């Protein structure tokens, strides 16, 4: 071309450079390409107009999604939108790779983008060459996608602000990793520093509590919601001369300040600083922007969870009581561990209530549900139980009144709720709730216990020799189901050296266990606690409570929150009542000690015969001969039934196990106040009774009848067979 001749047109120049020109109007949904751009797209080399769907069909799906993400970012930052695009043929193979560069603009009225840009083919290394192998090994697309996937997963799993900051501090970005990070927050009209990485403690104090009006990149990002990229110290000094003296001491060469935006609101800024120059290419900006979005979401989630935990702790402090002063002759320990779902509050609770008689009551229960409503009902029910107990009612009356109270709270309110049928548009009434509960009245002088139970798990007893049994007790329906339900009372004595455990089902069933396997797990923990750790010593009961919680979930405190609570499947409430014995220690904890227990069955309580059978089976849970256990259970059932059928008296069952494992003796006595002595009968084949003593004589190693001053006692003995 000679000097003075007119310059060729833009189209001619671009065609000579194998560069295509295109125009995309998202409002019309049309893409116009010139001949060179059409050729690069795999179309005939002539200018044409395509729909968005036709254009999208020529591109790799991943690259199309990348384009739609890069364009808004370029508009927000006022930069070019640059991206590599794989062109696909009709068979789905990669035809070529092109680089797209465009200048997008946004029309807020139409809510549409308009882009004018270029396409240019990217020369890829020949297959099998060293350059090709290097390109494959360091493929920017794969490394970036892998990095973002790992970063997203790690940030999603972070449960607190501290964990989020640790994750961000450990990120290694593909090809460019910052060595200094700062997360800025906002309080009022000032910046705050939420966390930092790569700086000495206190080094960033000059930037904390800085007014948002300051000429500082992080303040500008918070004000405008747009990122700031500074590729060199000279650029930083030119744009922010007022704060450059504060930044230059750190020796950094490049900086990126990214907005932390959630739901359209800029909640802070994230600074990534580099000790080497960074050009901040569109690819690098895309990575930084994506990390900033994930960081903002993670911080928002963590902040919400921390606020929920604070609310939880407040609810716990207001709803859960302290155990009060020490009780002479007895010790009490308690734990409450919330669930990990929602606000981490639920319906489990415990309480200790001083009574007018000088005794005290232990209460443990679980309101159905793991939400704020369950926690609210729990608080109301706990107050009602305290009121009924303080009036001096017996355990059965306390639970009967509490059941009517809860039934009225959940059913009467539902029946009068304005959202019933016929009132369209109003909220539906809440579903009725019920609660399980166990109420135990204790005499600290004698160790006498009176227990009423409403659908709650049975208590467990750790005997003086370390043996653990489940103590069956009479019970009724859960509270709130039937306002006229009865709750029979079970009476027994907590002997010196024994400990009673009360808990909610969360302690038993957490970890994939059912009631049976979960109870076996707790039994093992209770039995293994000793003799080196005596639970009847001054702090032994507290240690045992911690051991039980740790055995199920890991370390705990009196009111556990945080990562441990986050793993809870259900609330847990635990109460331990111990009655220390004189001289209790290693000598008493030997397995050769006698285990002894009492159970009374009244004439009007025939259903408690099943309770007696279960009680004896629990007492013999470690007996080596299963057939002997079945025989003992059968004989106990026959003897107690004989008293209730043939006398007008109540039956008192005494079961005692003594001796070394493998050679122990079981002695069972059933005492009543009747005068008639039992005698063997010879029933016919069709007789429905009369075989009790025949069974005793057949299955027991020894048996007899001992007259008493008033009444009699029939007994039998079994000697353990060891295999």
**pLDDT-wise least confident of 265-274, 594-603, 673-682:** 673-682
Q: What does the block give as tokens for 385?
A: 């139980």
**pLDDT-wise least confident of 111-115, 290-294, 450-454, 510-514:** 510-514
Could you read off the pLDDT of 189-243 as tens digits, one per residue?
Answer: 999 988 888 777 778 888 888 999 999 999 999 999 999 999 999 999 999 999 9
Q: Which of 176, 181, 270, 180 is closest to 222 using CA atoms?
A: 270
Q: Which of 649, 646, 654, 655 is closest to 693 using CA atoms?
A: 646
Handedness of CA 520, 522, 525, 531 (dihedral sign): negative
Mean pLDDT computed over every residue of the chain: 80
pLDDT at 344: 52
pLDDT at 592: 47
Exposed (0-12), middle (13-18) or buried (19+): which is 696, by Cβ within 10 Å?
Answer: buried
pLDDT at 17: 72
pLDDT (mean) for 540-553 = 87
Q: Tell me how far apart the alpha carbons of residues 454 and 399 are, in angstroms, rounded to a whole number.
A: 7
E strand or H helix at 547: helix 540-552
Q: Is 384 helix (H, G, I), strand (E, B) or coil?
A: helix
Which residue is listed with tokens 């189209």?
Answer: 11
Q: Tell me how far apart the alpha carbons of residues 630 and 633 are, in angstroms, rounded to a whole number.
A: 5
Q: Tell me how far apart the alpha carbons of residues 601 and 488 are, in angstroms, rounded to a whole number.
A: 12
pLDDT at 679: 58
Could you read off the pLDDT of 467-512 as tens digits, one per residue?
Answer: 898 888 888 999 999 989 999 988 888 988 899 999 999 899 887 7
Enumerate residues 6+ apart whose C-beta is below 8 A from 452. Answer: 395, 396, 398, 399, 438, 439, 474, 475, 476, 487, 488, 489, 490
Beta strands in 12-134 (DSSP E): 19-25, 30-33, 48-51, 81-88, 94-107, 112-121
Q: Tell me how far apart the alpha carbons of residues 454 and 436 are, in angstroms, rounded to a whole number.
A: 5
pLDDT at 427: 52
**pLDDT-wise least confident of 142-151, 183-192, 390-399:** 142-151
pLDDT (mean) for 293-304 = 86
pLDDT at 531: 52
Q: Is the pLDDT of residue 124 over 80?
A: no
Return the higher-pLDDT residue of 263 and 190: 190
Q: Tell me how far apart the alpha carbons of residues 169 and 309 are, in angstroms, rounded to a whole number.
A: 25
Q: Which of 203, 263, 195, 256 is closest to 227 using CA atoms?
A: 256
Q: Please work out, in degrees rounded to the nearest 5, the angle formed at the alpha carbon of residue 343 by the alpha carbons of 337 and 345.
A: 40
The single-letter DSSP state of residue 124 is P
Enumerate residues 6+ apart whose C-beta is below 8 A from 511. Answer: 518, 552, 553, 569
The segment with the largest mean pLDDT, out of 150-154, 349-353, 604-608, is 349-353
Q: How many CA atoms lie within 13 A of 569 on its CB side?
A: 13
pLDDT at 561: 40
Which residue is listed with tokens 């679980």?
Answer: 366
Q: Is the pLDDT of residue 689 over 60?
A: no
**pLDDT-wise least confident of 91-105, 338-352, 643-657:** 338-352
pLDDT at 425: 47
- Residue 352, strand partner residues: 362
Q: Tell me what percent of the residues of the chain surpass a pLDDT of 70.
A: 80
pLDDT at 245: 92
The single-letter DSSP state of residue 663 is S
pLDDT at 278: 87
The single-letter DSSP state of residue 411 is I
CB 323 within 8 A of CB 547: no
Q: Is the pLDDT of residue 114 over 50?
A: yes
From residue 642, alpha-carbon distances to 238, 534, 612, 634, 650 in Å are 102, 42, 14, 12, 11
Q: Please work out, in degrees rounded to the nearest 5, the angle formed at the alpha carbon of residue 569 by the alpha carbons of 567 and 575.
A: 100
From residue 55, alpha-carbon distances to 114, 115, 237, 576, 673 in Å are 15, 14, 44, 72, 99
Q: Is 574 helix (H, G, I), strand (E, B) or coil?
A: strand
Q: Which of 568, 427, 416 is closest to 504 using CA atoms?
A: 568
Q: What does the block give as tokens for 71?
A: 């364009």
Q: Is the pLDDT of residue 183 over 60?
A: yes
Q: Tell me how far apart the alpha carbons of residues 540 and 526 are, in angstroms, rounded to a whole number.
A: 12
Q: Tell me what percent of the residues of the chain surpass a pLDDT of 90.
A: 27
- Residue 49, strand partner residues: 32
Length of the chain counted residue by residue: 723
Angle between helices 161-169 and 282-319 (to 10 degrees): 160
Q: Is the pLDDT of residue 560 over 50?
A: no
For 342-369, the DSSP string reads TTS--SEEEEEEE-TTS-EEEEEEEES-
For 258-283, the DSSP string reads EEEEETTEEEEEEEEEESS-----HH
pLDDT category of residue 151 using cuts at 50, 70 and 90: confident
Q: Assess whether the previous peptide bond of 531 is cis (omega < 30° from 0).
A: yes
**pLDDT-wise least confident of 162-171, 384-393, 608-617:** 162-171
Beta strands in 606-701 (DSSP E): 651-658, 665-672
Enumerate residues 6+ apart whose C-beta is below 8 A from 434. Answer: 367, 368, 406, 410, 455, 478, 479, 480, 481
Return the higher-pLDDT residue of 26 and 562: 26
pLDDT at 9: 59
Could you read off the pLDDT of 386-413 as tens digits, one per residue?
Answer: 999 999 899 999 999 999 999 888 765 5
Handedness of CA 501, 507, 509, 512 (dihedral sign): negative
pLDDT at 566: 42
pTM summary value = 0.56
Could you read off the pLDDT of 412-427 as tens digits, one per residue?
Answer: 555 554 444 445 445 5
């Amino acid at each position: 071309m000679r000097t003075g001749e007119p310059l060729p047109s833009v189209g001619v120049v671009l065609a000579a450079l194998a560069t295509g020109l295109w125009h995309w109007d998202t409002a019309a949904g049309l893409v116009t390409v010139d001949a060179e751009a059409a050729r690069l797209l795999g179309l005939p080399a002539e200018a044409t107009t395509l729909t968005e769907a036709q254009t999208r069909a020529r591109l790799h799906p991943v690259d199309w999604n990348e384009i739609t993400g890069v364009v808004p970012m370029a508009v927000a930052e006022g930069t070019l939108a640059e991206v590599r695009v794989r062109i696909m043929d009709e068979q789905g193979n990669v035809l070529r790779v092109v680089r797209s560069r465009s200048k997008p603009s946004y029309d807020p009225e139409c809510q549409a983008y308009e882009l004018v840009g270029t396409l240019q083919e990217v020369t890829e290394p020949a297959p099998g060459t060293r350059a090709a192998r290097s390109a494959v090994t360091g493929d920017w697309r794969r490394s970036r996608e892998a990095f973002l996937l790992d970063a997203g997963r790690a940030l999603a799993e972070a449960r607190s602000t501290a964990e989020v900051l640790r994750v961000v501090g450990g990120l290694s970005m593909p090809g460019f990793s910052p060595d200094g990070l700062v997360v800025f927050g906002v309080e009022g009209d000032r910046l705050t520093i939420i966390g930092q990485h790569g700086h000495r403690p206190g080094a960033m104090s000059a930037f904390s509590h800085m007014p948002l009006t300051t000429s500082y990149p992080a303040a500008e990002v918070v004000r405008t919601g747009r990122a700031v990229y500074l590729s060199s110290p000279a650029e930083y000094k030119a744009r922010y001369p007022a704060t450059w003296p504060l930044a230059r001491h750190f020796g950094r060469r490049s900086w990126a300040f990214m907005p932390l935006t959630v739901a359209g609101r800029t909640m802070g800024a994230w600074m990534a600083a580099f000790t080497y120059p960074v050009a901040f290419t569109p690819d690098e900006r895309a990575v930084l922007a994506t990390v900033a979005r994930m960081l903002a979401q993670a911080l928002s989630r963590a902040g919400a969870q921390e606020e929920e935990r604070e609310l939880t702790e407040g609810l716990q402090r207001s709803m859960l009581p302290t155990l009060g002063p020490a009780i002479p002759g007895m010790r009490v320990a308690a734990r409450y561990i919330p669930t990990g779902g929602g606000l981490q509050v639920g319906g489990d609770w415990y309480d200790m209530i001083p009574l007018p008689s000088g005794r005290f009551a232990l209460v443990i229960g679980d309101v159905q549900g793991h939400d704020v409503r369950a926690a609210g009902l729990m608080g109301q029910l706990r107050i009602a139980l305290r009121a009924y107990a303080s009036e001096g009612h017996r355990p059965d009356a306390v639970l009967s009144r509490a059941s009517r109270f809860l039934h009225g709270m959940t059913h009467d309110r539902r029946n009068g709720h304005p959202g019933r049928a016929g009132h369209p548009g109003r909220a539906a009434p809440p579903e009725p709730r019920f609660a399980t509960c166990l109420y135990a009245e204790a005499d600290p002088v004698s160790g006498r216990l009176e227990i009423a139970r409403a659908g709650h798990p049975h208590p467990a007893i750790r005997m003086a020799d370390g043996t653990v049994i489940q103590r069956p007790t009479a019970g009724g329906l859960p509270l709130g189901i039937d306002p006229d339900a009865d709750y029979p009372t079970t009476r027994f004595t907590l002997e010196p050296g024994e400990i009673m455990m009360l808990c909610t089902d969360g302690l038993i069933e957490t970890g994939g266990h059912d009631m049976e396997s979960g109870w076996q797990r707790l039994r093992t923990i209770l039995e293994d606690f000793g003799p080196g750790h005596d639970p009847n010593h001054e702090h032994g009961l507290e240690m045992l409570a911690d051991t039980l919680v740790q055995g199920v979930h890991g370390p705990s405190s009196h009111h556990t929150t945080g990562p441990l609570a986050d793993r809870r499947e259900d609330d847990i409430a635990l109460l331990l009542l111990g009655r220390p014995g004189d001289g209790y220690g290693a000598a008493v904890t030997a397995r050769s000690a006698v285990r002894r227990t009492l159970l009374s069955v009244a004439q009007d309580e025939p259903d408690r015969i099943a309770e007696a059978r279960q009680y004896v089976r629990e007492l013999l849970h470690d007996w080596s001969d299963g057939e002997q256990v079945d025989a003992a259970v059968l004989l106990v059932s026959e003897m107690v039934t004989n008293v209730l059928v043939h006398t007008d008296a109540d039956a008192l069952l005494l079961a005692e196990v003594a001796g070394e494992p493998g050679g122990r003796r079981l002695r069972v006595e059933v005492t009543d106040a009747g005068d008639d002595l039992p005698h063997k009968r010879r029933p016919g084949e069709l007789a429905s009774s009369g075989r009790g003593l025949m069974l005793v004589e057949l299955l027991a190693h020894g048996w007899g009848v001992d007259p008493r001053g008033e009444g009699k006692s029939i007994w039998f003995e079994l000697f353990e067979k060891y295999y």
